[in-house]
Structure formats: C-alpha cells, structure tokens
Structure 1
Amino acid sequence: MSDASDKLMPGPEGKTPRFYEVDKGHKTESYLTAIHGNPIPPQPSSSNPANPIRYDPVGEKVDLGGEGSVKPRENNRIGLTEQDLSAYRNDPFWKGLRWLLFVLFWLLWLGMFILAILLVCFSPGCALSIRPSWWQTAIAYNIWVPSFQDSDGDGLGDFEGLISRLDNLRKTGVQTIWPSPFLLSDDFSNAIRDHKAIDSKLGVNEVADKFIDYCKYHDLRLVISIPLATTSTQHDWFLKSASASLPDNRNYSNFYYWLNKRPSNPAAMFAVHKNVTYVHEVDQPKAAILNWGNNNVREHMFGVLSSWIDRGVDGFHLTTVEYLARNADFSKPDWKSIYDILKDVRKHVDTYANESRLGKKIAIFMRAEGAEEKLKSSLAETGLDTIVNYELTNVEKNTKVCHISEETVASCAHEILSDVLLFHSLKPNVWPHWELSNGFVSRLSARAGSRSHAELLILLQLMLPGTNSFYYGEEIGMRDLQNDTRVMVQRGAMQWDSSLNAGFSTSQNSKIPVHPDFVNVNWQNQWKDEKSPLKMFSKLAKLRQRDETIMQGETLISSLIDHHAFTLTRFPSSEATIAGQIYVCAVNFGKSTSILPLESLPHHGSLEKVQIVVATSNSIEWRSRNLLNLSEKTLALPSDTGIVFKYSPPPTKPLTDH
C-alpha cells in the first residue's frame, strides 16, 4: 500500500481511495485497472523476445509467431466471414429482397411526409393567444410612504418600513408597487429638489437601491412618480439659472421661464426671485416650471429617466404634464406642443431601454383629471401606455354626481362604468386604467357611505378589464381620519394589527394618526379570516394573474335593476373559438333583495351548476366554490351584497352540410 502522499482518485460508492499497486511480476496495476477486471498480462521473458504473446479481449492467449502474424483460433470463430457472405451478394432472391425493402422504406417515408403536410393544412386553426404585457393587467398598489410603515420609531413611515412589508403585499396578490412620494422634494410635493435622490425624510439615498432590489426579490414591479415640468426653487438647476450671468451657469439661463415684467393674468402662476419674475405651478410658488423648449432641459430630464431605468425601475407615472408647454400668457396648456414632448419622452425611454439591453418594457402613464375623451385618445397616441380613468374618484354620495335622491352610489357608479367602458370599446388604442381612490380624495368607505358599499365597488373594480390601481388600506376598508389636522384625512396610518399605533410605529408620539377602529379593522385580523374584504381582494387579485378571460376577455354591463343592482360580465373575446370560463359579478347596493335577470348573459347555455368564485364578506349563505342552480335565469341577490360566479360556455357544434 502506498503512503498518504499518494494522489486521490474517485472510487466506488462515493469513496475516494488512494492508488495502490498489485504485484504482477515485472509490472504493476493501478486500483482502477484492478476494479475493472482488466489485468495487464505478464510480459514475455527477455530471454525469448522473438516469440511475443498477445491477449485477446476475453483473455485467451494467441501466438503471434515470430513475424507477429495472428494464428486463427479454429474453434472460437463468431459470425460469417467475408467469403461466406459473398455467396449471397449476387443471389437473385436476396438481391430482389434488398431492392424491395429499399423501395418500401422510401415510399413509407414519403407517405408520412405528405400526411404531415395535410394535417397542418387542414387541421382547424387555434386562436392566437398573446399574453398581455405586465402593465396591462397589473394590480398596482399606490402607497403614501409616510403613512405606511415606520422602521426606526420616529413616528414617520419610511422606505425601510415599506421594504419590511413587501411580503405582505405580495401575498395579497399585488404585482406592482407605486410609492408616493419618492423623490426629494419640498413638503412631499412636485417641487423636486433632486431628481436622483429619494426624499431624505423617508431614508438615505442608498435605501432606494435596496428598495428596488427587494422589489425584484419579491417579484414585484416598481413604478415611480416623476414631475416632468417642475422643480423646487432650491433645485441646483434653478439656483444656477437664477445666476446665469456667471460664466459657469451660462447653459442654465433658459432652463425656466424668466420674465422682465410680472403679468396680471393669471396671478396664481407668477412669483419673484431676485427681482425677476418666474412662472410656477398654480398656487405653488416653490414649484418653478421648466422650459421644455430648451434643449438642455430635455437632455437633463432624459438623463433623469435614464438613471432610474439603470437603477431598475419598471415604469414612470408622469406628473405636471399640463405644464410641459403653455400658451402665450401661461393660462392654458398647449396640448399640441405637449403631445410632441411626450412622443420624445416615449422615444427616449424605449431607445435607452433597448440600447441598455434590459429586455423589459418600461411603462409610462399619467393621470388626467378632468380630461375629456378626445384628450385621452390624443394622449394615448403620443405613446403613453395608459391614462388613468379619474371618473370613478367622483363617486360620492350626496354630490352633483351621485345626487342625494339616489340614496346610494349604485346609479352614478353604473352610469360612469357604462360610459367609460363604451369609450374604451370605441377607442381600443386607449388601454383602460381604473382608480377608485388616491392620496388626494377621501377614502372610498367615506364617499360610498359605508364599508359594505366600498367593498362592492372594489369587487367591481377587480373584475374590470385592464390595469387597476388601488390606494393603500382600501383592501381592508380603512376610513378617513376624524378630528385630526396633522395629515390629510385619507392619509392615516396603515392598520396592520391591534398593537400600538396599529403596528405602524413604535413611537409614543407618532406623527401620523391612526383611526380608532384599528383594533377590529386591520390587516392581520382579515388575513386570518376567510370571509374578509382582504381575502376577497386577494383571491380576485391572484385570479387576474392567471385567467385569460379576466386578463383579455370582453366586458358586458347590464341595465340597472331596482335602481341599485346590476351585473358585470367578463367572457372570452373570440366567439369563433369559445374557450375558458365566463365570470359574472353581481352587486346589490339596495336595502332589500333584488332579482337580477340572467337571460342576456353571453353563451349562457345551462346554468344549473355555476360555481361561486368569491362573495363579499357580509354574505351569509354563499362561500367560495359552492355551487348554485341558476337554471331559472334569475339571481336573488340580498341587500348590500356582491358575488362573482363562473360557468363554462356550451360546447360548440360542428358545422354540417344540408
């Protein structure tokens, strides 16, 4: 056996034995040779070199003779020799058989080839299914970061806190994170101080990259808000532009609109800096308006977008778009010029993403409060991916939209949905993007009049086609704050659990107030309860990620029944190739049971066994996966209740000749 310094080799049963040697006369054999049973034969004696011996593969000795010629083994021959085979070569029978088999092989091959072509040509075609881009069916979660989660006990939410809650959001079915505010600004506004840094009140700048990385880790997309047209008067660009007489600042002279004389109209857009007038956002003197007619401004702003693309964001929510270009007295947007600027933004983002080989689509969208249908359509033609439908944020009891005589928001919600769905059916180039609430309007439960009606509206929104944005806390039914002026009423602390400050902060003096109902209404309680608004939200949010009918199907809204009830149906978009499930969302905002007719449902066939997908949390008799018999083509829906059920269309009958 060799010593420990020998080289190691792999061995049987996962072991690593050493080399060892086996005495074979004048030769040795390695371990590997030994275990494979392939011994090295003894070599001929040096006294008789003229008579070598060779071993055949089975270890029998063959005398090679003095000339090295092999002497055949008479009794150990296997198979036919060449001389034996030559007798069959020209035999007519075997020669004909070979030709017959050769011809049959090629005829069979040719027949199979033709059959394959015929199958391809005459088989019924399949509908081409193209999966939507990530932004087209996303559940986007709009977060007011200062109110979401405090990580350091200072009483203010921050990005470290948001990172700690990403797993909660992923579990509920959220696919895209949309944090606001994000960039460093004056008082969380459009007055941006630094386009490449997050707000210092919410974390150090390095946390931005950590936040982006954690979003990727949780398979969450990230979109950030970018004010294209405004900066703070404390921004480095503004300060250099205000001192453009200095040689180093000469290129910044026309970054903003500087006027020698202050116009009288509109007074809300002009302020003075160092005895010179500049133009700003309405009623926001800290938010100076950039001059996009200046090429240096374009280059700098394109650089901002490029830097965030490099850092890993997936999309941009563009704000202050209406200030990109103005008419001569700055009183109105110059939309024609704005369209051209947005086209340039789209071109730059796409070009940069392609040149960077990121291999992903960067989404660009905006809100357009008060925009008419024509304006929405024109904005979509600039290359914007979506324009948020603002109309549903107007749903509110006892207003000019939802008149006091209507008692509930059912009628105005139905009217708005009908109008906007019709618009999108006529303008397919405008991708739907729905929003019921945001950080600038009261929470849904306050506007709808009750939590149950807010839940009905969220149920409807989750069944709508296109992109959906939800404001934080609406999935659990959070309410407006009461009697507190520290923050806007819709920006109360996120209600995570029943502990101090609803789990938002450990501070004894939190800067963000919490609604007193957090003990009962919180994320933790609802996640444990299968019959909760949060679980209803989660089930439908996850269904939207995998069901083609909800992702790409058509939409049908019924007439209003009893002034308070209606249905919203999603069905496969191609009638020629009916496939997939049909989903019906039925809601009743009224105080009594409504009988909803189902005769107009598409491809309804037999409704004897329809399956419940989800029901609102106040539903007593209905639960997910229960079966219903709706063969009478009617549905008795209790008050303040909503339900989503599904059924399969009838099988298509093949066409026959008569």
Structure 2
Amino acid sequence: MKIVMDLPVSSVSLNHPWFKTKLAHRFIVIDQRSPAYNNNEKFYDFGNGTKYLGYPNKNNPVLNWNNFEVKMSIFEAVKKYLEMGVDGFHIDHISMMAVDANGNPDHDKAIVALKNLTASIKDFLTNHTELQDKKIALFSSLRDIEDLHAQAQETGDLHYVIDNSFTTLNNAKCGDSTANCVHDALDKAYQRYSANNYTPHWQFSNPESSRLASRFDSDTAHLLNFMQLTLPGAISLYYGQELGMKDAKFNGNPTQRGVMQWSPKGEDHHGFLSESGIDQLFFGENEEGEGDDNYDTQYFRELSPLKVYRKLAKLRQRDEALVVGTTVRDKLVDDVILYGRYARDANNTVIGNAYLVALNFGNEEKTVDYDYQAVEVVPKSKDLAKAEIAVVTIGVDKYKSREKIDLTANKLVLPAKQGILVRI
C-alpha cells in the first residue's frame, strides 16, 4: 500500500495564522492603486484599504510564491511528510502559483514555480541517506487550467493528471441523453490523452463535488462506476462510491463528506462509532433509514454494487489488458456505448484476453449484434464463438459470471441502464 496526500500550495484557509495575523507579504495583496481593486469577484477586503486574492473563492487566500517564507514553509512541510513515509503528493490549483496584476494565472511563471518545488523535492530525496532510492508520485487534477497541466507533464514535473471532468456531469447537464453526454465526455478525455500523452487517471467523484449517486439515479451511478473500472490507466474512487452512497446532510445542508456507512442507520451512526448514544457528529450523515447503501447489507448479498466493484477490482489486478491495454471504441448506437480492451506485444500481436464492454445508458432494453464490420473493437484473431461473461451489473438477470456465450450466433441483451463485461 502507498500513501499519497494533498499538498495545498496555492492557498490557505481564513483561519491560517498567517492570514489571521495579517502577514500581507505572504499573500497576493493589492491596494487602491491597483486596476483590479474594484474586482469584487476575485479580491476581498483585507483591512487598511487593501484586498487579498481569493481562489476559488474568498475562503481561500492565495499565497505569494515570490515570498521566501512561503516557499520555505511549504518545502519544510514536504520534507516532514516524506520523512514520515508519504509516497506522493497531489499538487492542486498549480495555475495560482503565479498570477498577473489582475489576479489571472501566469502560465509560464507558474510552471517555473512548480519546477522549483519539484526540483527541491527530488534534490532532497537524492541527498537523503535513507530516502535516496524512494520513488514518489507527483500529480495534479484537471480542474482549472488544462493547458498548464499539459505543459507541466511535458516538462516532467508531474507524473500524471487526474481527469475529474466526470465529476461535473449530472442529470441536468446531460439532459435527455445520458449516453450522448457520457460518450462526449469520453471523447474529450481521449483527445486530451492522445494530444498531451497523458497517463489516464479517472475520477468520477471527489470531496469537492456532489456524489455520483446524488447527481444521477442509482442505476446510472452504478453503471458509471462499472464503466470507470473498465477504463484504461489508474482510477480514483471516493469512499462509499462503491456502495452507491448519496450526499449526506450536516446541519440541514447537503454535503458529500458524510460518514462512511458500514452498517444500516442506527444509534452508532451507520457503524461509524464503536458505541452508541452520541447524538451529533462533526460529519454529515445520510438520513434515509431504509437505504441499503452500506457495507454490511451489500457484503452479504449475492449481487450488489459492492460485489460488482470487488469483482472488477480483482480482475483489474489480475489482467493487465484492463489497465494498460489498448482501448478501441465504437460509435454510439441506440444509447449503447461499446468498446474493447486488449493488450499487444512489441510485434503488435494481441496477447492474453480481450474484453468487450457494453453499456446501455438508455431507458429501454437494447440488443447488441456484435460483428467486425465497422470498427475492430475486438481483434479478429479472437474467436467470438468462445466468449464468456466476466462481470455484469446488478440489474442483469439473463447472464451470470463465467457463463459461456457464442457472440456469432447470439445477440447481447442489455436491460435499461445496465452493463456487461465479456471476456474473449
């Protein structure tokens, strides 16, 4: 197991001692002479006729990376955590490591600031007798300035970038066709990976966005989880996503940062506490009493979102085709997204298993009559008559895992909002 952590480099909270003691030189602060002084959407009152830059909002004062104390404080924190055994850092909002007079990101200077930080980290490891052989991961999220992340990875300062574009999708944004919405998001993601040579890293839920099962109905959320686990590269799952957990409530307000639901709702707050009798927690909690989105309930069911997740996770560990293999996608047909996953050797020969992923995002049952005529989603060297059902979503009754199927003679039947992974 490896441990990685968030490394906040661009801003702090309003409760930080630097901010509370008004150490203005450690923040991006302007006075009335600045042309941006009246921009109340970026700059906020700091007292004595000055304003501070906040990003992404006023609750996060932006640090001044031209200040020596700022650089040294963050670097000292990095050294401390490396010596404690941390294996990597998620460096977010790197665009704000350098800004112009109006508070807009200065891409070139931000890259220089990032490069200085990552170079310091590497130098520290190289010169540390106990850590010089340690390999760490440095990464960011594709949440603010896309071009900047591409440039950062090209220079070798970041090992990969988390694609969190799916965290912004919801029923309202997708409108009448979730299939089109998801297919378009995949298209854009693959274009980024192709153009910028990214290593794919998929994130569908995170601490800053509403939970997947609150943005979509439970079946669609489960299908999206299924899809995420069949995509290439690395994946990032937010705790409880594998159970279909929804947003909780804290003081009457919705929050995605609720307690992990180990058991049905009870006096021990979904099993979050080892004892009962404590009324109020410092965390949100799902108020639905009859929900089955908890670990204990799903663990003892033969087929549940948790069991599907476990099957796919184990399969990803066993078969490199699902992690590093090629992905060949077909066009969207009748709300069905279809793609193949397989690996090739140095001679371009297909090795090991090939997989066919079929996802029905529509509201009606669909049939998939698979052939080789349009796009070679599955290599022609594979015998479709000897296919096998690998994993299905919880609403598929027609097929069972390890069931043999002849795709040359039978159409795949996909119930509404369900998916199938076929091994060939």
TM-score by length of 1: 0.58
Query: What is residue 466 of structure 1 aligned with on the other side?
Result: 233
In 2: Cα distance, 1:234 partner to 1:391 partner: 30
Match of 1:228 among 1, 6, 9: 9
The residue type paired with residue 549 of structure 1 is A
SS of structure 1 residue aligned to 2:285 = coil
SS of structure 2 residue aligned to 1:581 = strand
Q: 1:276 to 1:571 in 2, by over 3 A?
A: same
Query: What is residue 149 of structure 1 aligned with on the other side?
Result: none
Q: Deviations over 1:58-110 (max 9, x none)?
A: xxxxxxxxxxxxxxxxxxxxxxxxxxxxxxxxxxxxxxxxxxxxxxxxxxxxx
Q: Deviations over 1:350-378 (max 9, x none)?
A: 22223334333211222232544x44421
**Larger helix fraction of residues:** 1
Query: What is residue 218 of structure 2 aligned with on the other side?
Result: 451
Q: CA deviation at 1:630?
A: 1.1
Query: What is residue 299 of structure 1 aligned with on the other side?
Result: 72
2:396 pairs with 1:619 = yes
Query: What is residue 112 of structure 2 aligned with on the other side?
Result: 340
Residues 574-653 of structure 1: matches in 2 within 5 Å?
Answer: 574=345, 576-596=348-368, 597-599=370-372, 600-604=376-380, 605-632=382-409, 634-647=411-424
- Percent identity at matched positions? 30
Contact 1:262 1:277 in 2 (8 A): no
Q: 1:576 to 1:318 in 2, by over 3 A?
A: closer
Cα RMSD over matched residues?
Answer: 2.5
Q: Deviations over 1:100-129 (max 9, x none)?
A: xxxxxxxxxxxxxxxxxxxxxxxxxxxxxx
Match of 2:192 among 423, 430, 434: 423
Query: What is residue 170 of structure 2 aligned with on the other side?
Result: 396
Q: CA deviation at 1:301?
A: 1.6
2:243 pairs with 1:493 = no
SS of structure 2 residue aligned to 1:587 = strand
SS of structure 1 residue aligned to 2:237 = strand
Contact 1:387 1:431 in 2 (8 A): yes
Q: 1:259 to 1:637 in 2, by over 3 A?
A: closer
Q: Deviations over 1:466-497 (max 9, x none)?
A: 12111221111112347x65443323332211
Q: 1:285 to 1:376 in 2, by over 3 A?
A: closer
Contact 1:565 1:587 in 2 (8 A): yes
Query: What is residue 503 of structure 1 aligned with on the other side?
Result: 271
2:139 pairs with 1:365 = yes
Q: 1:437 to 1:518 in 2, by over 3 A?
A: farther
Q: 1:394 to 1:303 in 2, by over 3 A?
A: same
SS of structure 2 residue aligned to 1:458 = helix
The residue type paired with residue 645 of structure 1 is V
Contact 2:344 2:351 in 1 (8 A): no
In 2: Cα distance, 1:317 partner to 1:303 partner: 16
Q: Deviations over 1:503-530 (max 9, x none)?
A: 1233233443323155533111111223
In 2: Cα distance, 1:403 partner to 1:542 partner: 34
The residue type paired with residue 502 of structure 1 is H
Contact 2:95 2:148 in 1 (8 A): no
- Residue-pair matches, total: 407
The residue type paired with residue 619 of structure 1 is V
In 2: Cα distance, 1:603 partner to 1:283 partner: 46
Task: Extract unaligned runs of 5+ from structure 2.
Answer: none
Contact 1:612 1:628 in 2 (8 A): yes
Contact 1:567 1:586 in 2 (8 A): yes
Q: CA deviation at 1:284?
A: 4.7
SS of structure 1 residue aligned to 2:391 = strand
Contact 1:607 1:633 in 2 (8 A): no
2:297 pairs with 1:528 = no
For structure 1, which segment, 460-469 or 416-425, has the greater mean C-alpha deviation from structure 2 after superposition? 416-425
Q: Deviations over 1:171-217 (max 9, x none)?
A: xxxxxxxxxxxxxxxxxxxxxxxxxxxxxxxxxxxxxxxxxxxxxxx
Q: CA deviation at 1:257?
A: 3.5
Moved over 6 A (4+): none
Query: What is residue 568 of structure 1 aligned with on the other side?
Result: 339
Contact 2:218 2:244 in 1 (8 A): yes
Residues 185-264 of structure 1: matches in 2 within 5 Å?
Answer: 220-232=1-13, 234-238=15-19, 242=23, 254-261=25-32, 263=34, 264=37
SS of structure 1 residue aligned to 2:421 = strand
Contact 2:211 2:245 in 1 (8 A): yes
In 1: Cα distance, 2:40 partner to 2:390 partner: 55
Query: What is residue 169 of structure 1 aligned with on the other side?
Result: none
The residue type paired with residue 163 of structure 2 is N
Q: 1:463 to 1:275 in 2, by over 3 A?
A: same
In 1: Cα distance, 2:333 partner to 2:357 partner: 14
Query: What is residue 385 of structure 1 aligned with on the other side?
Result: 159
2:212 pairs with 1:440 = no
Q: 1:623 to 1:294 in 2, by over 3 A?
A: same
Contact 2:14 2:61 in 1 (8 A): yes
Q: 1:491 to 1:299 in 2, by over 3 A?
A: closer
Contact 1:258 1:276 in 2 (8 A): no
SS of structure 2 residue aligned to 1:290 = coil
TM-score by length of 2: 0.87
Contact 1:268 1:283 in 2 (8 A): no
Q: CA deviation at 1:335?
A: 1.0
Q: CA deviation at 1:598?
A: 3.6
Q: CA deviation at 1:552?
A: 1.3
Query: What is residue 126 of structure 2 aligned with on the other side?
Result: 354
Q: 1:273 to 1:420 in 2, by over 3 A?
A: closer
Q: 1:335 to 1:283 in 2, by over 3 A?
A: closer
SS of structure 1 residue aligned to 2:99 = coil
The residue type paired with residue 471 of structure 1 is Y
In 2: Cα distance, 1:561 partner to 1:355 partner: 56
In 1: Cα distance, 2:81 partner to 2:256 partner: 29
In 2: Cα distance, 1:370 partner to 1:518 partner: 39
SS of structure 1 residue aligned to 2:333 = coil
2:183 pairs with 1:414 = yes
- The structure with the larger Rg is 1
Query: What is residue 317 of structure 1 aligned with on the other side?
Result: 90
Contact 1:456 1:587 in 2 (8 A): yes
In 2: Cα distance, 1:518 partner to 1:489 partner: 19
Q: 1:598 to 1:310 in 2, by over 3 A?
A: farther
Q: 1:538 to 1:322 in 2, by over 3 A?
A: same
In 2: Cα distance, 1:544 partner to 1:638 partner: 25
The residue type paired with residue 40 of structure 2 is A
